[in-house]
Chains A and B, each alone.
Chain A
Amino acid sequence: TQLLEQSPQFLSIQEGENLTVYCNSSSVFSSLQWYRQEPGEGPVLLVTVVTGGEVKKLKRLTFQFGDARKDSSLHITAAQPGDTGLYLCAGAPGGKLIFGQGTELSVKP
């Protein structure tokens, strides 16, 4: 059983569409992180959310931490082909950083 469940696992959309990726858990996290990974590379940290209800924006990406600190979402506005990649959420219960299964996003021109 995954401690962090991500949905959807796969997403294929056209350029210009909006999308939301979800990261859910039954556990409370002190913080959650989002990473993006391109083929053949290691994951790159996008953002860390710490406070329940917090919203952070990174250009066209909006990250939200749930009020109860058990879930998070990533919303991309007007997706572009350059957004293609594997999006991972992560948390550190007990200190060890664990990851969700990831959402494979493909944005077609």
Chain B
Amino acid sequence: KAGVTQTPRYLIKTRGQQVTLSCSPISGHRSVSWYQQTPGQGLQFLFEYFSETQRNKGNFPGRFSGRQFSNSRSEMNVSTLELGDSALYLCASRSDSGAFFGQGTRLTVV
């Protein structure tokens, strides 16, 4: 069974731009969660999607948004990028037995 796939692995953007990250969960998993990981804040919950609906949301500004498609693949978008958005963005595919993470997308905003 293939694991969670995140693309791209690395991304460099300039302030003010927008970015879209992609996540393909494990086959059969309908829940996808997104996290932002920084050295100072640790793993912060962004949002969770289940069957194309946002089920939970963290405390991030509206510049952070996401969606899920009928095949459970998910995307997250960050608009008007700020330097502080530089982080590792992780996607997790959830089942009853736990959360399974992708390798993440390392976003650097310059």
Contact = CB atoms under 8 A, between A and B. Distances in A.
Interface in A70-108: 88, 90, 94-102
B56 interface: yes
Interface stretch (A13-21, A43-51, A55-63): A43-51
Majority DSSP secondary structure for residues of A touching B: mixed
Nearest to A41: B103
Nearest to A97: B99
Contacts, number: 53
Interface residues of A, number: 20
For chain B, which range describes its interface: under 10, 10 to 19, 20 to 34, or 35 or more residues?
20 to 34
A88 B99 CA distance: 13
A33 interface: yes
Contact of A40 (B4, B58, B98, B103): B103
B56 A42 contact: no
Interface string B37-55: 0000011010010000001
Interface string B74-110: 0000000000000000101010011111111000000
A44 B101 contact: yes
Nearest to A43: B101
A58 to B, nearest CB: 14
A43 to B, nearest CB: 5
24 contacts: A35-B99, A41-B103, A42-B90, A42-B92, A42-B103, A42-B104, A43-B43, A43-B101, A45-B97, A45-B99, A48-B97, A88-B42, A90-B99, A95-B56, A96-B48, A96-B56, A97-B45, A97-B48, A97-B92, A97-B99, A98-B45, A99-B45, A100-B42, A102-B42
Given A42-B4, A97-B33, A101-B42, 16 more contacts: A42-B102, A42-B103, A43-B43, A44-B101, A45-B98, A45-B100, A48-B98, A88-B42, A95-B55, A95-B56, A96-B33, A96-B48, A97-B94, A99-B45, A100-B42, A102-B43
